[in-house]
Chain A
Amino acid sequence: MSAAPVLIIAPLLLFAFISILAGLWRTSLAYISAVVGGTLSLAAAVFGLFQVLTEGKLSYHLGGWPPPLGIEYVLDPLSAFMALIIVFVGLVVIVYPPKAGLYQVPQRAVPLHGMIMLLLAGLIGVVVTGDLFNLFVFLEIYSLSSYALIAIGGKHALVASFRYLMLGTVAGSFYLLGIGFIYFATGSLNMADVARLLPSLYASPAIIAAVALIFIGIGIKMALFPLHIWLPDAHSYAPSIIAAILASVQIEVAAYVLIRMLLSVFQLDYLRLQLPVMATVGWCGAAGIIFGSVMAIAQRDFKRMLAYSTIAQIGYIGVGIGLANPLGIIGALLHILNHAFMKGCLFLVAGGIRHETGLREIPWFVGLGRRMPLMMGAFAVAALSMVGIPPTAGFFSKWYLVRGSIEGGNWAFAVIIVASSLLTAVYFFRVIEKVFANPPPTSSTGTVQKCEPPPRILVPILILAVGVLVLGLSNAVIVTRVLEQVVAPLFSIAGGR
């Protein structure tokens, strides 16, 4: 038994409350305590990943009750990988000054950092828990925090948040019903235990219904096309820093749940051969890629474009999962990581532009490249990565996904993936052209007014942009050291390729 899984989540929960209480006294303390909590959690996540890679799966029994009676927390390569992404992106966002991210902080004080910490704690909880019901609890913790955080964005955001709340609750109920069926059938909620008991029950209608309910519920949380309708409003009206977390890690955690179901609850062949679940996920993902990309081209509002782009990118992850072969899952997981960096960077850039110039709509971005060269340089790197230009990170996730599609004999997916690169190029080069190729409005003296944001805004953005390049060049290390270990058990059990 090792405490590593809970050590990642504990500082977040603890400092969530410290941050709220300290914020009541001095607002600056809320920020500081959030940074401290995030840093502690990051240290635990880094340590946890190394420990998992050297020692194998770590498990912690809450309250000392052994599973299946008690709740088990598990850190395996997959959850350690996800936890590190969540905490890292979360910390970068926490460091980013809230003023720039919120741009219309209500007059009333909001426990912003406390809520972000709770959101992160919920996300981490989902990835480290080994218990189906406990997963639901954390799912609701992060969802409730998200609803509140989105609502900070103002009047439109309130409506968007309410819509998301309705759908999110439906999604949560679907999932809960699904595990309810599983509980009635097996009498257990522990994932490992359920996985052991389920195979004899695979033909039971209750289990088939459970699979359907769970995948639909999680599909809504993940915004997998056509269950995405809550996303565009929620992500474009949410404050930029919140949108950055939501787009780069929050919906990916739902994708994680799908992979976890494959890995630890159901057997792959059951979902692939007996039920057409994997094919459905894959084709929904493929449709989402096309839909999201086309809709993104039609947007004027920069953040709304990014939101539709997120639907397309989650489609890539869906395709990778749906392929259900090692390269596909590796591609999906790598894309979760890469997308976290790219989309996080892009939303923070959106916040930076809004903060420095007040601009939101792409046609007005004329000449920003010369006014804020560093930030727009970071934007260009992230945008090229979204298009999938090597050697940025975005290329390599596509590389594995395309190879996975070809290996699976699914040329349609391969073609959709590369065709969507072109659509992505259309909507990003539209912005790049405006930003870099049009002369900026000059002041009366004829010089360009520089408006590069201050270092506190710039540094988090640059960290993510440099990260995009570093992840691209070092993708082989991530794949061989971490991701191949994630998929190895899946495909040795399934006996497939």
Chain B
Amino acid sequence: MEAYFSLKPLIAVLVSLLASGLIVLSGSRPNLREAWTITAALAKFAITLSMMPAVLAGKYPEVALFTISPGVSLALKVDPAGIIFGLSASVLWILTSFYSIGYMRGLSEHNQTRYFASFAVCLSATMGIAFAANLLTFFIFYEVLTIATYPLVIHKETPEALAAGRKYLVYLLTGGVVLLLALAFTYQIAGTVDFRPGGFLSQQVGQDRLMMLFMLFLVGFGVKSAIMPVHSWLPSAMIAPTPVSALLHAVAVVKAGVFGFVRMAGFVMGPELLQEIGALGIMAGFAAVTIILASLMAFRQDNLKRRLAYSTIGHLSYIVLGLALLSPSAWSGGVLHIVNHAAMKITLFLCAGAIYVKTHRENISDLNGIGRQMPLTMGAFAVAAMGLAGVPPIAGFVSKWYLVQGTLETGQVALTGVLLLSGLLNAGYFLPIVARAFFSPSPGFSKYSEASPWMVIPLMLTAVLSLLMGLFPDQLFHLYQLASNVAASVTGGGVP
């Protein structure tokens, strides 16, 4: 494990920031404007991918820009955890960009320049979060992400959208300031905020102070990860255009919160220390309750996007649960689920968006027989839905397998039960949608057809990706190896 100087992480962060400037400047020429988005997305992916071999070989690209506060640099460093998150965000941004073009033009949306520019800034912030080398750098990008997402949430500018935007800000800024307290506290007691595998805090600090710090982190990251009871901003934020819900509220924003847990548990406090102070149990408890309650609440949603939102809340807590177990398998499973859930959930959102553009229907009860008109879309939906329920050989099965293994290794049989029950509940709220779409009669529904290829191709690709990641968890981008590297480095255990 060694670091070497490279500007690549910086470029990966800045390329979309630059693009957002160009997008604003070319606002009057839509084709040129969209070209910038696509170019930046491809460039970001290429740069991220090019860092992969080095990271796999244990050499981490690193760049320290300048001192941002005495003793702390604005620094980026690409480690296995970071590249997993960065890679999933950048791959899915490419597909979402194509999809966005189809979606926004299909609905003749207003203010498209602001939309694409904010989107690009969000991606810069996400990459910054993924590659941040210390907690202060992390926090800066974390807050930028909150603000940059706001224009996307209120995109419709209706009173409901503005209300959702306010709720979004209240929740996320509150989480942000609690996190600021945690950050300042960490710096005061440790004198450093540089991430270190296994954590840099020790028992000497004192049980009470560590517990307090942990609670601050739990609230701070819990808001963005939509852990109950601070989850309710996420279903409200579903009023945003569907590509926003897809990328930001299934991949970037909420995963930034979960990734915060990865950094906190693995690289700031360390799983063993958390175990000693009894914090892991609290984390696991919140996660388990959230998994079950969110799944139950998903049943009650008739609005498709809101049902997906509750499903997201549940699945985010899968990841948190994995991180709350002192077991390499559980950590691998949790980290893998960041990517796997991203690919599957984005597919579902993209399908919901395609249906909305063609039919302007948002409610599940209105979707009888839609599968016969839009077979490709609903086929992709079925694949992703089964994946989330944990049906092999789709990606969701792999991460869940390791999570279950982790619960058994640590002897937490109750948590095994939670995971299995949640799988059933997932099947329970997803499969009726599929069944309704394909097997219910559809009165007067024949006028609809598949959405434009701009939208159908990306959602097919994400569905295929979910399948491939389930069939070949390691061949594709070496995700499994990266995840187990993370797990081994933070838990101190061997590769399972």
| Chain A residues at the B interface, C-beta cutoff of 8 Å | 384, 387, 389-391, 395-396, 398-399, 402-403, 406-407, 414-415, 418-419, 421-422, 425, 429, 433, 436-439, 473, 475-477, 479-480, 484
| Prevailing SS type, chain B contact patch | helix
Flag B133-166 by CB within 8 Å of A: 1 or 0 each.
0000001100110110001001001000010011
Beyond A399-B69, A418-B181, A475-B68, 4 extra complex contacts between A and B, CB < 8 Å: A422-B170, A425-B169, A433-B162, A479-B69
B187 within 8 A of A: yes
With both beta carbons as reference points, the residue of chain B lying nearest to A387 in the complex is identified as B173
Contact with A along B48-75 (1 / 0, CB 8 A): 0000000000000000001111100000
B188 within 8 Å of A (CB atoms): yes
Selected contact of A389 from candidates B147, B181, B187, CB within 8 Å = B147
Contact among A429, A433, A476 for B69, CB-based, below 8 A? A476
Chain B interfacial positions (CB closer than 8 Å to A): 66-70, 139-140, 143-144, 146-147, 151, 154, 157, 162, 165-166, 169-170, 173-174, 177-178, 180-181, 184-185, 187-188
With A402-B181, A437-B154, A479-B70 as contacts: A391 and B166 at CB distance below 8 Å:
no
- Are A476 and B67 CB-contacts (below 8 A) given A402-B180, A419-B177, A425-B173? yes
Offer 29 A-B interface pairs, CB within 8 angstroms, sorted by A: A384-B147, A387-B173, A389-B143, A389-B144, A389-B147, A390-B140, A391-B140, A391-B144, A396-B69, A399-B184, A402-B181, A402-B184, A403-B188, A418-B178, A419-B177, A421-B173, A421-B177, A422-B170, A422-B174, A433-B154, A433-B165, A433-B166, A437-B157, A437-B162, A437-B165, A439-B157, A473-B66, A473-B68, A475-B68
Q: Which of B69, B70, B146, B177 has the most CB of A within 10 A?
A: B177
Q: Closest 5 A-B residue pairs measured CB to CB?
A: A418-B177, A390-B140, A476-B67, A402-B184, A403-B184
* A residues near B165, Cβ cutoff 8 Å: 433, 437
User: Are B187 and A403 closer than 8 Å at their CB atoms?
Assistant: yes
Q: Quick check: B181 and A415 within 8 Å, CB to CB?
A: yes
Is A476's CB under 8 angstroms from B180's CB?
Answer: no
Q: Is A398 touching B180 in the complex (CB atoms < 8 A)?
A: yes
Q: Which residues of B sit under 8 angstroms from A479, Cβ to Cβ?
A: 69-70
Residues of B within 8 A of A480 (CB): 67, 70
In the complex, the chain A residue whose C-beta lies closest to that of B24 is: A373
Residues of B within 8 A of A484 (CB): 70
Known: A439-B157, A480-B70. A390 touches B181 (CB 8 A): no
Cβ contacts under 8 Å, B157 to chain A:
437-439
Select one of B68, B140, B144, B180 contacting A418, CB under 8 A.
B180
Contact B184 A414 (CB under 8 A): yes
Residues of B within 8 A of A398 (CB): 180
For A390, A403, A418, A422, the residue with the greatest tally of chain B CB atoms inside 10 Å of its CB is A390
The reply to whether A407 and B180 contact each other, CB–CB distance below 8 Å, is no
Which among B67, B180, B181, B185 has the greatest number of chain A C-beta atoms within 10 A?
Answer: B180
Residues of B within 8 A of A475 (CB): 68-69
Interchain CA distance A156-B324 in the complex, whole Å: 62
Q: How far is the CB of B180 from chain A (nearest CB, A)?
A: 6
Q: How far apart are the CA atoms of A425 and B188 in the complex, in Å? A: 26
Return the chain B residue nearest A396 by Cβ.
Answer: B69
Minimum CB–CB distance for B131 against chain A, Å? 16
The answer for the CA separation of A479 and B67 in the assembled complex, in Å, is: 11
Contact A476 B68 (CB under 8 A): yes
Cα A425 to Cα B171 in complex, Å, equals 12
B188 in contact with A406 (CB, 8 Å): yes
Q: Please determine whether B139 and A390 come into contact, CB atoms closer than 8 angstroms.
A: yes
Bound-complex Cα distance A415 to B68 (A): 23
Contacts of B174 in A (CB 8 A): 422
Residues of the B chain whose Cβ atoms lie less than 8 Å from the Cβ of A415 = 181
Bound: A421/B169 CA distance, A: 12
In the complex, A469→B157 CA distance in Å?
28
Cα separation A402 to B157 with both chains bound (whole Å): 35
User: Complex formed: what's the CA distance from A466 to B3 in Å?
Assistant: 34
With both beta carbons as reference points, the residue of chain B lying nearest to A370 in the complex is identified as: B111
Q: Which residues on the A side are within 8 Å of B146 (C-beta)?
A: 389
Q: In the complex, which residues of chain A have a beta carbon less than 8 angstroms from the beta carbon of B140? A: 390-391, 395
- Docked complex Cα distance between A395 and B143 (Å): 10
- In the complex, what residues of B have CB within 8 A of residue A387's CB? 173
Chain B residue with minimal CB distance to A330? B70
A390: chain B residues within 8 A (beta carbon): 139-140, 143-144
Nearest B residue (CB) for A414:
B181
Closest to A424 in B: B173
What residues of B have a CB within 8 angstroms of the CB of A437 in the complex? 154, 157, 162, 165
The CA-CA distance from A422 to B223 in the complex, in Å, is 15
Bound CA–CA A479/B187 (angstroms): 17
Across the interface, which residues of B come within 8 angstroms of A419, CB to CB? Answer: 177
- Smallest CB gap from B170: residue in A: A422
In the assembled complex, the CB of A395 is this many whole angstroms from the nearest CB of chain B, namely 8
Q: Which residue of B lies closest to A429 (CB)?
A: B169
Provide the bound-state CA to CA distance between A407 and B191, in Å.
12
Q: Which residues of B contact A438 (CB under 8 A)?
A: 157
Smallest distance from the beta carbon of A328 to chain B beta carbons, Å?
13
In the assembled complex, which residues on chain B have CB atoms less than 8 Å from the CB atom of A395?
140, 143
Residue among A387, A415, A436, A476 with max Cβ neighbours from chain B (10 Å):
A476
Tell whether, in the assembled complex, residue B162 and residue A422 are in contact, meaning their CB atoms are under 8 Å apart. Answer: no
- Write the chain A residue with the least CB distance to B141: A390
**Judging by beta carbons under 8 Å apart, are B154 and A422 in contact?**
no
